[in-house]
Structure 1
Amino acid sequence: MSKMSTPAMKPPAPITPPPPQPSTGSLSPKKVGGKFSLFSHIKYEHMVAGISGGVTSTLILHPLDLIKIRFAVNDGRTAAPQYRGLGSAFTTIFRQEGFRGLYKGVTPNAWGSGSAWGFYFLFYNTIKGWINGGNATTPLGPSLHLLAASEAGILTLLMTNPIWVVKTRLCLQYDNNVDPKCDKRYRGMIDGLMKIYRTEGFRGLYSGFIPGMLGVSHGAIQFMTYEEMKNAYNEHRKLPIDSKLTTAEYLTFAAASKLIAAATTYPYQVIRTRLQDQNHTYKGTWDCIKKTWRYERMPGFYKGLAPYLVHVTPNICLVMLIYEKFTRN
């Protein structure tokens, strides 16, 4: 009996899996419709680099900062010490208050500078990364650099202003014979924070905040100038804008950007320092501006500029160099 032939069976067609659907349950901020994509650009090495640079520069250069503060508040109408110049200030403070006198306020200064630079670099690079979508080779331009730096400055000031108030007041404690239990005499940063809050409330901890907000423009101008100079230099060399530079090039751009920012915004620092000084009494920012103009005219707004430039130029060079080297890929 002959076998019946059956038609050959065709192999089944391969099953094409459906295209993957976007996940809705993932906690990754990159995948939730971009709603929290800002958080995907946070890189904590920027904070660590900023803290390292801020603390290092403060420990080295604090005496210059102290002298700048004392020059800034000297309006000729209070019993503040009189110094003929930068060298005179150094020798007078050392002779009258010893080596420790040159480092009054160094603890809150180190805390403030470290946290301020840490937060600033964290916020600035996070905002910048969010704007350019994480592509470091995309130039933002002056306006977006200015925007990112301004936003970072405001956030940083909100978090650090109380530390700057204590630092300023510790730097302005001239007489070592004053009763340490006095409400305007501070034994250190924590004691200062507690006494200011107890006697002046929350408002006292945010003395000088308004001119500090104006001072955000200082950091914004500085960082915009720094970034634009780096970008223009790399474009001139026909290299990607995120290409690394030499130590000398970083130092040059950091110093130039700081000098430009200081020349345009320094008066706010005088007003802010005077508002934070426990030895002066002003009704507010505008009252301080009017009195400074009435008694000292324009030079009053630039008191302490020389020690400030001597202090901040190496300061910003150290901070930016440590930051750039720390975050080198």
Structure 2
Amino acid sequence: MSDTPPEPVENPKGGWLPAKSWQHFVAGGLGGMCGAIVTSPFDVVKTRLQSDLFREKHAGVHIAGNGSVVIRQRPSNILYHFVETGHILRDIYREESPRALFKGLGPTLVGVIPARSINFFAYGNGKQIIANRFNNGRENSWVHLTAAACAGIVTGTATNPIWVVKTRLQLEAHDRGAATSNAKFGGSWNMIKRIFREEGVKGFYKGLSASYLGVTEGTIQWTLYERLKKLTASTEGKGGAMEWLGLLGSAGTAKCVASLITYPHEVIRTRLRQPLVNGEMKYKGLIHTLRLVIAEEGARSLYGGLSAHLMRVIPNAAVMFFIYEAILRI
């Protein structure tokens, strides 16, 4: 299928950066911040379901009042996983405290704001630079794909340490009554010192290989979003509420499709970022982790937490891209 005729890209007096390039940085940061706050509880659930540290806790094991262990039968249909997400949110709220639903939000925001700023800045300006330098000032799908891949690599490299800290914080479960005695483990700064002490600088770059693998998700998302945005713009016309609804739908659909295609890398990345268990690192590399997870838990475990992930990333993407587009049009 050939591309529809693209619009020319503004070339700012021969400079490398397009005019108002800073807008992409600010818009991406604000959009990422708002989306992360709204969907933080689903991020906690997703991280725990991806990790084998919480497999038994959330696998249907229940201690009855008389002390006996009851195994709850879990339906295997995919819709139940969305119900299960609700149950886990309820359990975290009851057993740990409402604040536990926002565990890791601090490092998430510290990570999301620069990550989205860098990603949107690199992509928004990168596609214009690539188009101007290599495609006669016009955008098309290969320009979007190349810019998205470059933006993903830059963002992943710059922000990986932050995501390691966030994952470690989310994998710590504490009782409600212990919330005030968590000073040893409960803060981002304490976690940073702990990782550095136990694992050194390399500990902050665990999961980086899986992050690079996940560049494909951002590439698919950006390319599909640009295509869907053009389709909605051509059918709905310029401006008005319908165009904004089209943008929301384009962002959510693009993220949903990209997530479904590339989700296993999320599970592998979470496993690689898990803390040491009895002083040993269970997962030791991308291929090793993939083989070990499939051997011990089956291929289905590569989609653990998918329901919580979709419930988080689809509205997150819609909010983030809505704010991004709105700021660019100011």
TM norm structure 2: 0.80
Q: What's the CA shift string for 1:163-211, capped at 9, x where partnerless?
A: 0000001000013559857xxx633222222221222112100010001
* Letter aligned with residue 71 of structure 1: L
1:6-33: per-residue Cα shift (whole Å, max 9, x none)? xxxxxxxxxxxxxxxxxxxxxxxx77xx
Displacement of 1:113 in angstroms is: 1.3
Shift of 1:295: 1.7
| Counterpart in the other structure of 1:104 | 103
Aligned AA (1:257): A
Instruction: Report if aligned partners of 1:165, 1:206 keep a CA contact under 8 Å in 2.
Output: yes
- Separation in 2 of the partners of 1:236 and 1:306? 32
> Residue 292 of structure 1 aligns with which residue?
293
Q: How does 1:162-201 map to 2 (within 5 A)?
A: 162-176=161-175, 186-201=185-200
User: How many angstroms apart in 1 are the aligned matches of 2:118 and 2:242?
Assistant: 24
Q: Cα RMSD over matched residues? A: 2.8
**Equivalent position of 1:49 in the other structure:** 27
1:253 equivalenced with 2:250 (yes/no): yes
Task: State the structure with more CA Rg.
Answer: 1
User: What amino acid does structure 2 have at the position aligned with 1:143?
Assistant: W
Q: Which amino acid aligns with 2:97?
A: G
1:67 corresponds in structure 2 to 45
Distance 1:147 1:221, change over 3 A: same
| Counterpart for residue 80 of structure 2 | none
Aligned to 1:212: 211
195-204 vs 54-63, which moves further: 195-204
Q: For residues 147 and 296 of structure 1, what CA distance do their matches in structure 2 show?
A: 36
Relative to structure 1, the CA distance from residue 200 to residue 215 in structure 2 (aligned partners, 3 Å threshold; closer, same or farther) is same
Partner of 1:14: none
Residues 39 and 316 in structure 2, CA contact (< 8 A), matched pair in contact too: yes
Q: Which range moves more in the overlay, 52-61 or 214-223?
A: 52-61
Shift of 1:39: 3.5
Q: 1:20 aligns to what?
A: none
Q: Which residue of the partner structure matches residue 305 of structure 1?
A: 306
Q: Quick check: 1:75–1:296 contact (8 Å CA) kept in 2?
A: no
Gaps in structure 2 of 5+ consecutive residues: 1-11, 61-73, 75-83
**Which gives a bigger RCO, structure 1 or 2 (Cα 8 Å, sep 6+)?**
2
The residue aligned with 2:221 is 222
Identity of aligned residues (%): 32
What's the TM-score, normalizing by structure 1? 0.80
Moved more, 282-291 or 158-167: 282-291
In the alignment, structure 1 segments of 5+ residues that lack a partner are 1-29
AA partner of residue 285 (structure 1) = L
Contact 1:267 1:301 in 2 (8 A): yes
